[in-house]
């Protein structure tokens, strides 16, 4: 008789997944609209979601990576197209 560990879903897991998806959405919006104003807050939210860990740890790590790429791409696009950064 083998004992299988019971995994309980914590509310923090759901919040971490929600924060990670919010950070992804905000960083993608930030590419088109004022990247230096929006994306740093999205990065902060992604880092908080990563710190919470849990079931959505890979999604949170992806959110941090995508936020970094969107920050670089958003600033480059804003400079090339003469749009405001702030």
pTM (predicted TM-score): 0.86
Distance CA 64, CA 59 (A): 9
pLDDT tens digit sequence for 51-83: 998 889 999 999 999 999 999 999 999 999 998
The DSSP H or E segment spanning 37 is helix 35-52
Task: Give the domain ranges of the chain.
Answer: 12-67
Q: What is the DSSP letter of 82?
A: T
């Amino acid at each position: 008789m083998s004992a299988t560990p019971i995994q309980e879903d914590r509310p923090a897991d759901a919040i971490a997944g929600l924060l990670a998806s919010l950070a992804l959405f905000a960083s993608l919006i930030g590419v088109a609209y004022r990247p230096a104003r929006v994306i740093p807050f999205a990065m902060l939210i992604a880092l908080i979601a990563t710190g919470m860990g849990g079931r959505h740890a890979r999604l949170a790590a992806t959110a941090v990576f995508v936020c970094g790429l969107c920050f670089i791409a958003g600033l480059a696009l804003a400079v090339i197209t003469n749009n405001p950064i702030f």
